[in-house]
Amino acid sequence: MDLIKEFEAQRLHGGKKSWYTGATFLPGDSFVLVDYSNSRCCLYDSACNFVSEISFSATPWDVCHIKGNIIAISFPHKNKIEFLAVNRMFESLLTVNTKRACYGLSSLDEDRLVFSGYNNEEWRDCWGVIDKNGEEKFYHELQGDSSRDQSYVALNETKTQVYVTWSNRRVLQCFRIEGDFKFSIELTDKPHGVCVHIDGSIFVLGHSSNNIHQISPSGELLNEISKDIPRESCKICTSLNKTYILITNRHKDTRDKCFIYFARYRR
């Protein structure tokens, strides 16, 4: 994996240390970052210049691209998902109330989202499909005690397989979109972000190390890629054409900088 570039994300003046837990690309390679610590969302252009931001009264976690300039952001502590349009500035379009604490988000189509999180009534980890009306089209609970912790979700290119991580479970689990279990693979580190590369490989970001687990579509661990990125990396996502990767982290050095990394994977 080749590091293309890194840049220092804009810090909120007088705010807390930034923790970018969500990221997604938009057409033209502009991108959006979700700052969990400061309850805001930031837009950057393709040259990594800060463009604008929006602040929220609730704490956001993840973001996904829907279509065109439309994105969706999860608010797990408020059981809601918000849809926004991004045209240099952010415009709120729709707020959807959810039954679950939704953390990870991935777009199934322009009307439906796949989410991961937990059932905060029965304390069960779960994932499912929800539409823009807040109606659950599918819901799946995992067996065993809930981790009640952060999670991420990704879909393969054909939108037929769901990949889910929960940071306390130390596994990547794969399901068919209809809910059938496909495989589970143990990881050496607490997993955070997950994304699917153009060749079908699944990349899972290790939170406490600087390793990226590369996993085949059939569930085989292919490689552990070690890069010079700081600990506590959080979100990994691919560009819309899936040719390169963005990684966010919470970097806690004396200068309190938070770096964003762009990398390209080559076999």
pLDDT digits (tens, 9 = 90+) for 16-41: 778 889 999 999 999 999 999 899 99
pLDDT the model gives residue 88:
92
Interstrand relation of 40-44 and 124-131 (parallel, antiparallel or unpaired) = unpaired
Q: In this structure, what token pair is assigned to residue 41?
A: 């969302």
DSSP structural state of residue 150: -
Band of the pLDDT at 206, cuts 50, 70, 90? confident
Interstrand relation of 2-8 and 259-264 (parallel, antiparallel or unpaired) = antiparallel
Sequence-separated (6 or more) residues with CB below 8 Å from residue 20: 9, 33, 34, 35, 36, 234, 235, 248, 249, 250, 258, 260
pLDDT the model gives residue 255:
43
147 vs 195: which has the higher pLDDT: 195
Determine the average pLDDT of the residues in 186-207.
Answer: 88
pLDDT in tens, 208-244: 776 888 999 999 999 888 766 556 677 888 888 877 8
Q: What domains are there in the chain, each with its CATH number?
A: 2-18+98-264 (2.120.10.30)
266 vs 261: which has the higher pLDDT: 261
**Nearest Cα residue to 168 out of 201, 211, 125, 203:** 125
Percent of the chain whose pLDDT exceeds 70: 88
How many other C-beta atoms lie within 10 A of the C-beta of residue 196?
A: 21
The residue whose two tokens read 């059981």 is 79
Residue 254 above 70 pLDDT? no
Read off the pTM.
0.92
pLDDT in tens, 85-141: 999 999 999 999 999 999 999 999 999 999 999 888 878 899 999 999 999 999 999
Mean of per-residue pLDDT scores for the chain: 87
130, 113 in Cβ contact below 8 A? yes
